[in-house]
Amino acid sequence: EVQLVESGGTSVQPGGSLRLSCAASEFTFSSYYMHWVRQVPGKGLVWVSRLNTDGSKTNYADSVMGRFTISRDNAKNTLYLQMNSLRAEDTAVYYCARGHRDGYCVDYWGQGTLVTVSS
């Protein structure tokens, strides 16, 4: 079964930085696009970013463009999200998700890691 395990979520002050990690297993990580999606507890899903298989092509939501950077290490089967200039509105559970092989969507999700931005 596909496994995605996020880590790195914590409390941080506004303006601070944080790096999330997502350890992938039980599938050929290097063959799949990967995504980050966030969700404020009790609220809806918001797509954050996508990265292609070799890490050369990125896409970002307007709300995080220029502040967040998605990357991957295929040798370590790990996806990252570097988050800079954090704002209170970035507070959410961040999910790592695998891109569907045959469609433009995500098919497996991690359990999520909570990021809280507060002074």
Both tokens assigned to 3: 């496994």
Sites for another protein among residues 6-25 (CB under 8 A): none
Q: Work out how close the CB of 60 gets to another protein at its nearest, in angstroms, rounded to a whole number.
A: 7
# binding residues, another protein (CB under 8 A): 25
42 vs 22: CA distance, rounded Å: 23
23 vs 11: CA distance, rounded Å: 21
From candidates 34, 50, 78, 81, binder to another protein by CB under 8 A? 50
Task: Tell me if 34 contacts another protein by CB under 8 A.
Answer: no
Candidate ranges 19-27, 54-62, 68-76, 78-86; the one touching another protein (CB under 8 A): 54-62
β 113-117/11-12 pair status: parallel
From candidates 3, 10, 11, 111, binder to another protein by CB under 8 A? 111
Sites for another protein among residues 69-108 (CB under 8 A): 95, 100, 102-108
16 class by beta-carbon count within 10 Å (0-12 exposed, 13-18 middle, 19+ buried): middle
Q: What letters, b where the CB count within 10 A reaches 16 and e where it falls short, cover 97-109?
A: bbbeeeeeebebb
List residues near another protein by CB under 8 A.
35, 37, 44-47, 50, 59-63, 95, 100, 102-112
